Every structure is written in C-alpha cells, then in structure tokens.
Chain A
Amino acid sequence: MSTAAQAAAPARSRGARRVRWTPRRIVLLAIGALILLIVLFPGLFTSDTWNKVNVADKFLSPSWDHPFGTDEAGRDILQRMIHGARLSIGASLAVAFAAAAIGTIYGAIAGWVGGWVDRILMRIVDVFLAFPYLVLAMALAAAIGRDMKSAIIALIIVWWPSYARMVRGRVLSLKRDLHVRAARTLGASSAQLLRWHVIPHTFGEVNARLTVDIGYALVALTGLSFLGLAAQGTSPEWGLMVSTAKSFVLSAWWYALFPGVVILLTVLYFVRVGDELAGEES
C-alpha cells in the first residue's frame, strides 16, 4: 500500500517538458539571474550615497571610479541606473504580465463561449488594435496622470488586446481537441475544462510573446518617461535619465549614451529569450 501511495503522490505535479541546456541558454539564464538580482537588491551593487548630490564631482567623464561617468549633480550614473532598473524593468514586467493575464482570460472566454459573445468581445479588441498603440498609450497616460502608475495602467490598457486575439484563436482549436472532449465526458464543467485543459495549453505561446513584450514595454515605458508622461523629478528611471541628459549632450556625451545603450541591450535580451521560448514551443 505504501508503494502505491508513493507512486500516486506526484500525480498532482504538472507535466514539465525536459529542457535542453545549450551553452547559449545557460548564458541567457545567467544574465537573467543578474538582472533579477539587480532589480531585487540594487543596494548590493552600489554605495549608500548613490543618490546624493555632490556638485564638486559633476560631469566627470567615464573612469574606473565612475564607469558610466557622473551627471549634473555629481551622482554616479551606473549606480543610479542600477537603482533605476527596479523602476524601468519592474514596470515593464508589470505591464507585460498584467496584459497577458487580462488578455488570456478575455480571449479564452471569447473563444470558448463563441457565437455573438465572441463577436462582441472581438469587435472591442478590434477597436483597440485599430489605434497605433504608442499614440493611444501617450494619450491615456497624459489623461490619467503623468506619473509611473498612470503610464503602467495606460500601457496595460493598450497591450492586452493582442493577447486576447492570440489566445482566442488557440482556444477555438483547442476546444475541439479530443482531450478536451474526453474530459467533458467525465463530467467536467466548462470552468474546469478551461482551467485544466484549455488555458494551460495556451501558456507556451503566451509566455514566448510575454517575454518579448517585456522588452517592448521597456521601450514604450522609457519612451513615455522621456516625453515626461511617466517618471518625474529626481527618479532614476532610465527613460527620464535620457530625457534629462539630452540637455547636456554636447558637454557630457556619456550621460545619454550609457542609459540608452543599457535600454537597448535589455530590450534585445528579452527579445532573444522570447525567441528562444518560441523556438522551444514549435
């Protein structure tokens, strides 16, 4: 009996596919771990005085002490960026995850229920997708309140419809799959079928797009900051840093360059990981 119970015990664990760990993937994972560490514990990498004004050190060009140079208030740009990662990347993660969650549930319901419910729900999605998303996000962010929170909300509002459309398409085909019909003959309710057998099968594609979208959300968010629609004041948010730096481009080239390059590399990283996930999926 004990062996039987033992054998059945892992039955509740979800079936995970085995991942092939190529060198490239190990490098991508290591970079991801570093990003996570920086976002969660920026203090580990910086001194306590990272945000302190020190006019004597203003506009120092890159050196061993200040790899990215210093800004107009004499603050170390690298250290400020490390603290800003939490804002810029954290907000991008929030946008991508919230958009994916909302879009998945919305799209799953549309595809599952079908008929006129589906038609109405998808017409609403079409309305959103008809606008250029950045223009719509700018308008919304300006209307809601010109701060980080408003920018995040604005981006979620313009971002979820693409997930809704993708997931709906998957659900339309999944609901005809034999494993779903078989589970229905067991007596499963629609909610159980969606939760156990339909939505989990959309995760592969959703995760791949979500990862790429973290990168695109970072572009959008730093863009909104640059335009003065997101982070404000002395915040070390990356887009805001570039925005401030643009006044000093001729005197301090490093000020705009390094934040810009870091934003670019971070975006490329998430797009790369997303491609990797998409490749694994197909």
Chain B
Amino acid sequence: MTPLLELRDVHKTFQGRGRTVRASRGVSLKVMPGEVVGLVGESGSGKSTVANMALGLLAPDSGEVLVHGERLIGASRKREKELRARVQAVFQEPLLALDSRRTIGWSIAEPLRIHGRGTRAEQEARVAELLTAVGLDPAFAERLPSQMSGGQLQRVNIARAIALDPELLVCDEPVSALDVSVQAQIINLFLEVQERLGIGMLFISHDLAVVRHLVDRIVVMYAGRVVEEGPTDELCANPHHPYTRALLAASLEPDADEAGVGVRTATTDATAAEGVPQEGCPFLPRCPLAEPACSEMPVVALAPTGPGRASACRRSGVLVEAGASTSNHD
C-alpha cells in the first residue's frame, strides 16, 4: 500500500539576517490511508515546516516529499492539481485562511470551481450540504468571514477542506487559535469527519493533550528532528524519550517544573532554535536524564524501542524499563 504522504529524510534550512534556522534536519514520516497521525513538538520544533512541505508550499532542500508516491513540486500542472485535490489543509488562523473579500459560500465552493466539479447549481447545493455537515446553518453562505466567530470560521475551513473528498487532511495547529471551550467542539468535529469519511490525517499540535484523543499514532519532533514515535496509548502511557516525557507532563500539569520534571517548557521559537547545540544531542541542555557520556556522543538516530515504537535517545532503555515496571510515568 502506498502511503498517502511520505517524507524521506527531509532537510530544510532558513537563512535569516545573520541567523540560520535548521527547521528540518532529516525528518522521515508516513501517513497511511485512513491513518490519523499526530505531529507534536513545541514552537520552533519544525512542525509547521513539515506541514508546509507536505502541502507543497515549501520545497525541501534535500530529501523527498511524496504524495501517493509522487512529488508535488515539479509535477506537471495537471498532475499537481490532481494530487492537490487529494491532500487538503486546515490552518491555524481560520480568519486569515479565508479571503476577506469573499463570502463563505464562495470560499467553500472555490475548490469545486477550481476542479470543475458540477454545475453552479450543484456547487451551491454542495456548499449547503457541507455547511450542514460541519454543523453550520446553510444561510451562513452569504456571510463574510469578518461576520463570524473563530470556531465558526474553522468549521468553514474544514467544510472547504473536505469539499473535494480528499484522502488526507493536513491540519496545522487547527485549534490553537481558538478559545478552550471551542477547541473541544472542533476536535469532536475532526473526530466525526474522520469517522464518517475514513480520511487520513496529519494533525499538528504543540499540545499532546489535544492530539491524544484524536490520533492513532504520535510523532514527536524536537529541534527539526523526529525524536520519538509510537502508537498513541502506549506512547502516552510510557514515553521512551525524555522530551516526550516533558511534553506529557506539561500537558497534564499547569507547571512542569513544580511537577518535578525539571524541564523548562519552552514556548518561543528562539528558545528552541538558539538553545540547541549544533553538535550532539539537541535536547542535552534541558534533559533531566542527561549523563556526562551523553555529551560525548553524536546525535542518536531514531531506533526501534518496541513494537511500532522508536526513540532517539541514548538513555531510552532506562525509560523503557521504567515503563515496564510501573504503568504510570509520574
């Protein structure tokens, strides 16, 4: 079976004013048909770069980004259009993702118009059907984005993303900009859509708590690398990488330091990008499990630590054993 989306050893570096950000340093990941994969990591870990490359909005410096086994960038215009119809996106800022000058109905009908699906009347009927499917009144079609709330707008974006019956949704922090009360509703909508359409998803979030109820498998990124991956329940019950453990603690406790994890939960780009050593383990300065020997090693590659699981840490073994003896990581 061909993966819906596959990244093979993808690198991407941004050159800024006197500053180089290596957003992606050899990321590999796959999303199989119908599979829901969560990509987590703090801001600056390279998640959004991966999303933009998966969507063909950004070309990798090296490595391959394949949709159905084919490259999006560099494909013929006709083929690119066909591939794009299969992979749709939901972005973080629901208001900015829509054209402020266009009505909601126009925006939802846009993918149908681009791909020449149906007559105008059929498109209008489909817009009404899609609005109903995402829990909105079809009368919203004549509104402008500025006349709607963030939660309603994200529903509109979801309606637009499923208009073409895609096989994969790439969702880049789709609930981060919403009120907490609305977040749960939108996550439920994603669950509902996923169940009904059997669609594959790459769901990107900085918040493990958001992702764990939605996805089959979790991929954890740190400083442009995948540091751990595994099935959701097992990975959350027993993380094999100290960074995952810190993320879990941060998503459970209001203050990670007081919880005794001993790791700063950094949230800014700068911390992640600048606080990372150029050589060796990128997590070393923040790692509670670090030993002197860790600093003498090159970067540890992602290696299997169990069935369907992998971690990139010299000390994974300690965590694997800890998990085997107790079921609770706290």
A-side residues, CB < 8 A to B, are 1, 3-5, 7-15, 177-179, 181-189, 192, 196-197, 200-201
Contact = CB atoms under 8 A, between A and B. Distances in A.
B65 to A, nearest CB: 14
Interface stretch (B85-93, B277-285, B301-309): B85-93
B96 A179 contact: yes
Interface in B46-98: 55-57, 77, 80-81, 84-85, 87-89, 91, 93, 96-98
Nearest to A186: B111
B125 A8 contact: yes
Contact of A8 (B77, B81, B89, B128): B128
A192 B164 CA distance: 18
A178 B98 CA distance: 8
Given A9-B124, A10-B141, A184-B56, 13 more contacts: A4-B125, A4-B138, A5-B121, A7-B137, A8-B105, A8-B123, A11-B127, A15-B103, A178-B97, A182-B157, A183-B110, A185-B57, A196-B110
Interface string B125-152: 1011100100001111110100000000
B8 interface: no
In the complex, which of the residues B81, B96, B110, B132 has the most CB atoms of chain A within 10 Å of its own CB atom? B110
A197 B128 contact: no
B233 interface: no
A149 to B, nearest CB: 36
Given A8-B128, A13-B103, A15-B103, A185 B88 contact: yes
A1 B137 CA distance: 13
A8 B106 CA distance: 9
Contact of B138 (A7, A184, A201): A7
B103 A182 contact: no
In the complex, which of the residues A3, A182, A184 has the most CB atoms of chain B within 10 Å of its own CB atom? A182
Contacts of B127: 8, 11
B2 interface: no
A123 to B, nearest CB: 26
Given A7-B142, A187-B115, A179 B128 contact: no
B293 interface: no
B294 to A, nearest CB: 40
Contacts of B115: 187
Nearest to B55: A185
A4 B98 CA distance: 22
B213 interface: no
Contacts of B105: 7-8, 10-12
Given A11-B109, A14-B102, A185 B87 contact: yes
Given A8-B141, A178-B96, A192-B114, A1 B125 contact: yes
A195 B166 CA distance: 25
Contacts of B123: 8
A178 B91 contact: yes
Interface of B: 55-57, 77, 80-81, 84-85, 87-89, 91, 93, 96-106, 108-111, 114-115, 120-121, 123-125, 127-129, 132, 137-142, 144, 157, 160, 164
Contacts of B102: 14-15, 196
A243 B197 CA distance: 76
A183 B129 contact: no
Instruction: Please provide the 10 A-B residue pairs with the shortest distance between their CB atoms, ordered closest to farther.
Output: A11-B105, A4-B128, A8-B124, A187-B84, A178-B96, A7-B138, A15-B144, A10-B142, A182-B97, A186-B111
A8 B103 CA distance: 10
A8 B138 contact: yes
Contacts of A196: 99, 102, 110
A134 to B, nearest CB: 36
Nearest to A188: B114
A179 B100 CA distance: 8
A179 B97 contact: yes
25 contacts: A4-B128, A5-B124, A5-B125, A5-B128, A7-B142, A8-B124, A8-B128, A12-B106, A15-B101, A15-B103, A177-B96, A178-B96, A179-B96, A181-B57, A182-B89, A182-B91, A184-B57, A186-B88, A186-B111, A186-B160, A187-B84, A187-B111, A187-B114, A188-B110, A188-B114
Contacts of A4: 124-125, 128-129, 132, 138
Contacts of A197: 99
Contact of B110 (A1, A8, A178, A186): A186
A189 B132 CA distance: 29
Contact of A189 (B77, B89, B103): B77
A79 to B, nearest CB: 44
Nearest to A190: B77
Contact of B99 (A3, A12, A179): A179
Given A181-B57, A187-B85, A7 B99 contact: no
A1 B121 CA distance: 12
B149 to A, nearest CB: 17
In the complex, which of the residues B77, B87, B99, B132 has the most CB atoms of chain A within 10 Å of its own CB atom? B99
Contacts of B142: 7, 10-11, 13
A204 to B, nearest CB: 10
Contacts of A188: 110, 114
Contacts of B89: 182, 185
Contacts of A12: 105-106, 120
